[in-house]
Amino acid sequence: MKKLATLAVLAALSAACAKGAPPRPTLTTEDDKTVYAIGVALARSIQPLQLTPAELELVVAGLREGSAGKAELTVESRQVQIQQFAQGRRSRMGQAESKKGTEYLAKAAKEPGAVTSASGLVYIPIKEGTGAPPKASDTVKVNYTGRLVDGTVFDASERHGGPATFPLSGVIPCWTEGVQKLKVGGRARLVCPAAIAYGDHGAGSEIPPGATLDFEVELVGIVSK
């Protein structure tokens, strides 16, 4: 129920922007800034639905009339259809991402020094490290930047204050495999097909379903062996 309410509010905000609503108010107070940030967060969550301007208009009508107690339909009467609609849109997005990913992986595989493993991982060395590489059972410390195939950075260790530490057994398969190819001080790109990343579900609002991901990773250290 909460999810449905969130989608409705978000769609209304998106539609307002698309229709050239009145100029955005100045962010004067702390509450203004907080409410604006809520809108930004909601905008991220609606992206997988890929609503058209006409569909956004319908959502706005439902929001307006529902708030006035004059809605023609109840949410309960359309729950199954809403879920099917969302699943269908995510599936369509996943198919588009898969096509882009296939092309991106083929291009990455032609980079100098690139090696494609049986899993589909394309490993592209940037700088050679020293010592023994980590094992799947190790905990490692890394710097990383993660990008979508269009170049959008969806995550980076610097956003979290510096190198990240985690067990290699607790990350996506692409990382478990790829980081084991690095030695301390080494850097490489790990181009990960969806099958060994986040699959057909994606992850949150940042990583769409079916997405191929491109990580640049530096192995800072092996914390435990």
List, by residue number, the catalytic residues: 144, 154-155, 172, 198, 215
Measure the CA angle with vertex 170, ends 143 and 102; round to 5°: 75
